[in-house]
Structure 1
Amino acid sequence: MAKKKKLKLRIDRVILVAIIAIIILFGLYKGIMFAVDQVSGFFAKEKPVQVEQKEKEYIATVVIDPGHGGYDAGANTKNLFEKDITLTTAKAVGKYLENQNIKVIYTRTEDIELHDDKKTDLEMRAAISKTNQAKYFVSIHVNDFDKTTDVSGFEVYTKNDESTALATSVGTYIEKLNYSKNRGIQDGKSLVVLKANTVPSILVELGYIKGKDYNYLSDNQKLEQIGEAIAKGIVDQVHKK
């Protein structure tokens, strides 16, 4: 009986020691977790220093309007569409202007129309000038003439006399490329996209899609060069004001 009592006593002591060890370990665990939370909270309060980036300051804003888009393909021949020609050229204009610290607002950057109604579409394009307080509005188009394929050359239409200097400057740079003849400045007061505008505005007809102008109108590299020429004409006028 004495041996059984001693054995039972030893077991009881082992259990007691185990319980005490568990309590001590649990206490250590809670203490460690509390310390970790405190340290984490301290570092969380210290937010990283953020360096403010200044918004780029542009010297002017220009609206570039690639004519047509979406359902309205414009002039076309041999799977070549005006809406694609104008968009390629417009993006080249914009790229050059942005590098010259001139902000560019596009009326479209993809193959879409602004409205199902054509007149409304044109008025919406023109309204972008006022909304963005633009200095100039430049619309890009391609000409067509069904009666003959012999006609060629580029033209620049103006909103008013205030737009003449811009038209002349742009026309001069395009002419230097020697891709087609300069047909001169034309009266564009009746064109909705110019007529509805609130700023000096021009519309550039890059050439006639049928006939010999097709050769450069179907060449994206040459369209990009024309785009840069248009941009140079714009830059000259921005710096003169």
Structure 2
Amino acid sequence: MVRKKKRIRKDRVIIVCVLALVICFGIYKGTSWMIHTISSLLEPEVQQEVVQEKEEEKVKKYIATVVLDPGHGDWDPGANVNDVLEKDITLITAKAIGQALEEANIKAVYTRESDVSLSNNKIEDLKKRAATSAENNAHYFVSVHVNSFDESDEVSGFEIYKKNNESESLAQKIGKHMETLNYSKNRGIIDGGKSLQVLRDNTVPSVLIEMGYLNNKNDYSYLSDNEKLQKMGEAIANGIIDEVQTHLLKDSAQNNTNK
């Protein structure tokens, strides 16, 4: 009889131990589930806050905003030779400019980022392009185009149209950097504030760049070469960066004088 009681007590101990393990395991799983559930509920908000903080930090890093206007688009191809279209050339170049500006902490805003137009009406299209500056509190507006001269294929070179005297410095700096490529000659700076709508309707220092004559053999050689357009964009961007930095230095010097 004694042995039987001991055996029964041992069985009870084993059962109690098993029940204790089951209860502990249940508590562990329940706690883990609660922690996971609470974390999953909070995680989207935390992630959103992190994204917002990063976006705010990115905005704070910009030292200026520049509107880049790739001329033409969609139904309006612009100048064209041998299936090489102005609207494609300007878009490739503008994106190269924008990439270089972003690397210099200058915000690039595009009037178009694909083969589209802003309106089916040409005047309205140009008006909307110019309005992009005010809509984005931009500091500068740069429109990119390609020339063509039907009467002769011997005319070559790039030229820069300015809105007014306030835009002269930007035009000079861009032209200086474009010259370093030695792709074509610099035909100079031309007043376009009255004749070109995107300049006339603009609210900030603005220039329109004619990068070359597509129907000229020499100019066609680089206007139809995407790698050279990339370098052209970088050169234009360097001119813009120089202008931005010049103004920052002037503002800094002015602030120190006022102190």
Shorter-chain TM-score tier? 0.7 to 0.9
Does residue 118 (structure 1) correspond to residue 122 (structure 2)? The answer is yes
1:118 aligned partner, one-letter code: K
The one of 163, 185, 194 equivalent to 1:181 is 185
Q: CA–CA distance in 2 between the matches of 1:166 and 1:65? A: 15
Aligned to 2:199: 194
The one of 32, 57, 69 equivalent to 1:55 is 57
Does residue 79 (structure 1) correspond to residue 83 (structure 2)? The answer is yes
CA apart distance, 1:41: 2.4
Does residue 215 (structure 1) correspond to residue 217 (structure 2)? The answer is no
CA apart distance, 1:211: 1.4
Q: CA–CA distance in 1 between the matches of 2:31 and 2:177? A: 68
Cα separation, partners in 2 of 1:91 and 1:42, compared to 1, 3 Å: closer
The one of 139, 142, 148 equivalent to 1:144 is 148
Query: What is the aligned residue count?
Result: 216
Aligned to 2:33: 40
Q: CA–CA distance in 1 between the matches of 2:227 and 2:34? A: 59
Q: CA–CA distance in 1 between the matches of 2:239 and 2:36? A: 56
Aligned to 2:255: none
Unmatched 5+ stretches in structure 2: 1-21, 248-259
Aligned to 1:3: none
Unmatched 5+ stretches in structure 1: 1-28
Give the stretch that moved more between structures: 36-45 or 205-214.
Answer: 36-45
Seq. identity, %: 55
Normalised to the residue count of structure 2, the TM-score between the two structures is: 0.77
Q: CA–CA distance in 1 between the matches of 2:72 and 2:32? A: 62
Normalised to the residue count of structure 1, the TM-score between the two structures is: 0.83
Cα separation, partners in 2 of 1:89 and 1:42, compared to 1, 3 Å: closer
Root-mean-square deviation over aligned CA pairs? 2.3
Aligned to 1:240: 246
Q: Deviations over 1:163-192 (max 9, x none)?
A: 000000000110111111100000111200
Q: CA–CA distance in 1 between the matches of 2:97 and 2:156? A: 22
CA apart distance, 1:43: 4.0
Q: CA–CA distance in 2 between the matches of 1:180 and 1:36? A: 74
Looking at secondary structure, tell me which structure has more helix per residue.
2
Three-state SS of the structure 2 residue aligned to 1:156 is: strand
Three-state SS of the structure 1 residue aligned to 2:115 is: coil
Q: CA–CA distance in 1 between the matches of 2:216 and 2:134? A: 38
Q: Say which one has the larger Rg.
A: 1
Does residue 169 (structure 1) correspond to residue 169 (structure 2)? The answer is no
CA apart distance, 1:55: 2.8
Structure 1 runs (4+) greater than 2 angstroms displaced: 32-39, 41-55
CA apart distance, 1:38: 5.7
Give the stretch that moved more between structures: 72-81 or 52-61.
Answer: 52-61
Three-state SS of the structure 1 residue aligned to 2:57 is: coil
Three-state SS of the structure 2 residue aligned to 1:55 is: helix
1:220 aligned partner, one-letter code: N
